[in-house]
Amino acid sequence: MSEEGMAARLIVALDVPTRKDAKRVVHTLDGVVEFFKVGLELFTAEGPALIEELTSEGREVFLDLKLHDIPNTVAGAVRSATRLGVRLLTLHTLGGSEMMRSSVGAGAEEADRLGVNPVDLLGVTVLTSQRGGTFIGDRDLGEAVLTLATEARDSGLPGVVASVGECRAIKKTCGARFLVATPGIRPVGAASEDQKRVATPGGAVEAGSNFVVVGRPVLKADDPAGAARSILEEMQAFGPPTESDGCAGDGRSGR
């Protein structure tokens, strides 16, 4: 896979407070990065208008809102995100199977009505800021992640968000085409900061990650575009995972 192909799998997190800051990052990375994550801080500050602006410019958007509410409310949010044209949207797997199933159905119905691709819903398993050990009751964290990922798959979600450390096990259990987006990515030598379960970009690709999410190592770099290029080069050096490694094509979940 070429570096250009890898660019479709690198997502830079716009973890900044304002539209002005976000647009500065996007323009700085123009021609290097085409996929951007908008999280709670930025979306709360700027709302849907920023998403519409990014998508109108041809950017891919990962809307990371980690939705967790009653099924009808989350389904409505998924319909709204579909109308915004986002590529990926997160919801919490702990919201339960009914919430996840209704969200999948709502997204598919709205996409069909609009004649567009449905948004890929990714279930959040365990945040990468949480340490290993126990998580729910006496279950090991890794076991909990795998249980939640399996429930997400069985509820119709095309993928999950998890750390690189759980990626191989998720792919083995849920199937090679099941998407895994991996945050907590730090190039060699970078500080882990508040992330506890981290990995390098190359390690993420090697483990089968479909989408590699990077924030501060790019945003805080003296040369953000150069930092992003270095990450892409590292991803490319490890090459595209094979089908058996858990990544098929660009991970478009059967579109």
Neighbours of 149 (CB within 10 A): 28
Q: Cα(214)–Cα(231) distance, rounded to whole angstroms?
A: 9
Sign, Cα dihedral of 3, 58, 250, 96: positive
Cα–Cα dist 184/127, whole Å: 9
Residue 66 annotated as catalytic: yes
Cβ atoms of residues 136 and 128 within 8 Å: no
> CB–CB of 105/75 below 8 Å?
yes
Catalytic member of 23, 66, 172, 196: 66
Q: Locate all alpha helices (DSSP H) within the chain, ordered by sequence.
A: 3-7, 19-28, 40-46, 48-56, 71-84, 97-114, 141-154, 164-174, 201-207, 216-219, 224-238
What one-character DSSP code corresponds to residue 83?
Answer: H
Helix (H, G, I), strand (E, B) or coil at 212: strand
Q: Contact, 93 vs 151, CB < 8 A?
A: yes
Residues annotated as catalytic are: 66
